[in-house]
Amino acid sequence: MQSSNTLNRDSRVYIAGHRGMVGSAIWRLLESEGFSNLFGASSRELDLRNRDAVFDYVQKVRPDVVIDAAARVGGIHANSTYPASFLSDNLQIQVNVMDAANAAEVDRLLFLGSSCIYPKFAEQPIKESSLLTGELEPTNDAYAIAKIAGIMQVQAVRRQYGRRWISAMPTNLYGPGDNFHPENSHVLPALMRRFHEAKSNDSDEVVIWGSGTPLREFLYVDDLARASLFLLENYDSPETINVGVGKDAPIREIAERVAATVGYTGALTQDPSKPDGTPRKLLDVSRLNDLGWSAGTSLDDGLRATYAWYLDNLDSLRTT
């Protein structure tokens, strides 16, 4: 459902997770768009797993809009190694933020999920209607269940309280502010770091996890920020909506493009003993496109911008 509702630039907007890659991109965009009342608290200032603290904070801020970009995130290794932590932490964060927003009678909320909510063998490209139609990818099923619960909470609050809350499911993300940990990060920042270090150390070879054949779609985080504002102003429906670019490429090709961006010229070797994850994960973004929004950053441009940010922030990178 399209519902044009331009947000007042004086609106009080609370961005949960505003220091993360997604939250910081949304913060930058809203500042550039003239929003003058932005609120956020770092994890040191506010533990979103602490229910009483979250309620106190939201009551103090009294936001008009809440954007829930807070989550415990990681790549295949982290998700499969710490499933209980990913499930528990994300459920607590979501429930606390949404319950506090509901108690404060916040009428407009955007919950950001993940494309891992969809079945491992969903028909490609994946439509929003594929949700709950099959088994999840086992390497990140705990995280996926938490995000599915978030969608359900948005829908339940809409039904019970009539609030104009929405949820959006972005595809794989990358960009400034990403986590570059060698094991716990997602594939693009992990590759970028490995290629950079290999180039710096004159290494002859970089080993890439898996067969290299799975197909993946990647969205530059600043494009997600633009989509988030667009949806808050143009979308009002209980059904979640996909956010992506609408095209994908094999992991091997993507690795080669990252290597070219970094300037690494050594060999790329696959390690098929490592998990591939879902064989293909391409989102159907026709509903979002039909509303009038599409991604504007090419993969190569996004990789160049991300690597420039990486070089500028080597001494202070998020590596945990």
Marked catalytic residue, from 143, 220, 235, 310: 143
Percentage of the chain lying above the pLDDT 90 cut: 84
Q: What DSSP character marks residue 284?
A: -
Determine if residue 212 is labeled as part of a ligand binding site.
no
pLDDT in tens, 12-47: 999 999 999 999 999 999 999 999 999 999 999 999
In a domain, residue 236? The reply is yes
Q: What is the mean pLDDT of the chain?
A: 93
- Give 137's pLDDT tier (boundaries 50, 70, 90): confident
Residue 150, pLDDT score: 98
Q: Is there a contact between 119 and 136 (Cβ–Cβ < 8 Å)?
A: yes
In a domain, residue 2? The reply is no
Determine if residue 199 is labeled as part of a ligand binding site.
no
pLDDT in tens, 86-108: 899 999 999 999 999 999 999 99
Q: Is there a contact between 280 and 171 (Cβ–Cβ < 8 Å)?
A: no
The residue to which tokens 């949700």 are assigned: 131
Percentage of the chain lying above the pLDDT 70 cut: 95
Tell me, yes or no, if 143 is annotated catalytic. yes
Q: What is the CATH number of the domain that holds 105?
A: 3.40.50.720
- Give 140's pLDDT tier (boundaries 50, 70, 90): confident
- Give 78's pLDDT tier (boundaries 50, 70, 90): low
Q: For residue 83, say if its preceding peptide bond is cis, omega within 30 degrees of 0.
A: no
pLDDT above 80: residue 286: yes
pLDDT above 70: residue 318: no
In a domain, residue 167? The reply is yes
Quote the pTM value: 0.93
Q: Which domain holds residue 279?
A: 12-316
In a domain, residue 69? The reply is yes
In a domain, residue 103? The reply is yes
Q: What DSSP character marks residue 184?
A: T
Determine if residue 114 is labeled as part of a ligand binding site.
yes
Residues 6+ apart with CB under 8 A from 35: 7, 9, 11, 13
First to last CA, the chain: 39
Determine if residue 216 is labeled as part of a ligand binding site.
yes
In a domain, residue 140? The reply is yes
Q: How far is CA 148 from CA 15, 138, 151, in A?
A: 20, 15, 5
- The number of domains in the chain is 1
pLDDT in tens, 154-176: 999 999 999 999 999 999 999 99
pLDDT above 60: residue 3: no
In a domain, residue 1? The reply is no
Residue 280, pLDDT score: 86
In a domain, residue 99? The reply is yes
Determine if residue 173 is labeled as part of a ligand binding site.
yes
